[in-house]
């Protein structure tokens, strides 16, 4: 059974944080699915992952192609996980179910701390997931580095 890790973004962008988290997930041997809500965000992320200059691109693809099952990182807006990912990363308030948290190794939920609606949605997700018995951690970068501020389960 996995856990949901909530990342409260106050200094870094979602794109920069995703690049770091995806890299660490691949190092752990996990396939990743990044679930967003808009094509615009997923297009920007797609471009950034190809152009990651410091240590090369992160191998990935956009959902809907003939090779989705082969992708180590798949960017999508739907609820499916066709690449057999062990880690789901949710951005833009994309929905995550308790069943996903319990069946995957890790679920990462990134939300913009400067957006009141995003913070409110993340609080609702926290309550729904922990209320369903999912383990969860809350991480904040408010102090300049990532610090765990809360944990359940």
- What's the CA angle centered on 91, arms 86 and 95, to 5 degrees? 75
> Which CATH number characterizes residue 88's domain?
3.40.50.10110
Q: What pLDDT score does 56 carry?
A: 62
Q: Is 146 exposed, middle or buried (0-12, 13-18, 19+ CB in 10 A)?
A: middle
What pLDDT tens digit does each residue of the chain (153 aa) get?
799 999 999 999 999 899 899 999 999 999 999 999 999 999 999 888 877 556 566 789 999 989 999 999 999 999 999 999 999 999 999 999 999 999 999 999 999 999 999 999 999 999 999 999 999 999 999 888 999 999 998
Instruction: Give me the domain span that covers residue 130.
Output: 3-152
CB 10, CB 146: distance < 8 Å = no
Half-sphere exposure of 142 (CA within 13 A, CB side): 8
Give pTM, 2 decimals.
Answer: 0.93
Provide the domain count of the chain. Answer: 1
Rounding to the nearest 10 degrees, give the CA dihedral for residues 48, 61, 37, 122.
-70
Distance CA 9, CA 104 (A): 23
Q: What pLDDT score does 59 carry?
A: 85
Q: What pLDDT score does 52 carry?
A: 58
Question: Rg of the chain over CA atoms, in angstroms?
Answer: 15
Q: What pLDDT score does 50 carry?
A: 79
């Amino acid at each position: 059974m996995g856990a949901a890790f909530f990342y409260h973004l106050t200094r870094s962008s979602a794109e920069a944080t995703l690049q770091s988290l995806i890299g660490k997930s691949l190092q752990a041997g996990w396939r990743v699915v990044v679930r967003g809500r808009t094509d615009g965000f997923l297009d920007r992320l797609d471009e950034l992952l190809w152009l990651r200059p410091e240590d090369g691109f992160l191998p990935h693809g956009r959902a809907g192609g003939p090779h989705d099952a082969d992708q180590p990182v798949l960017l999508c807006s739907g609820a499916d996980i066709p690449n057999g990912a062990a880690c789901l990363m949710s951005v833009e308030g994309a929905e995550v179910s308790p069943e996903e948290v319990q069946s995957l190794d890790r679920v990462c939920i990134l939300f913009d701390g400067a957006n009141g609606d995003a913070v409110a949605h993340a609080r609702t997700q926290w309550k729904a997931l922990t209320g369903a018995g999912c383990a969860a951690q809350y991480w904040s970068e408010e102090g300049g580095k990532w610090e765990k501020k809360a944990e359940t389960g």
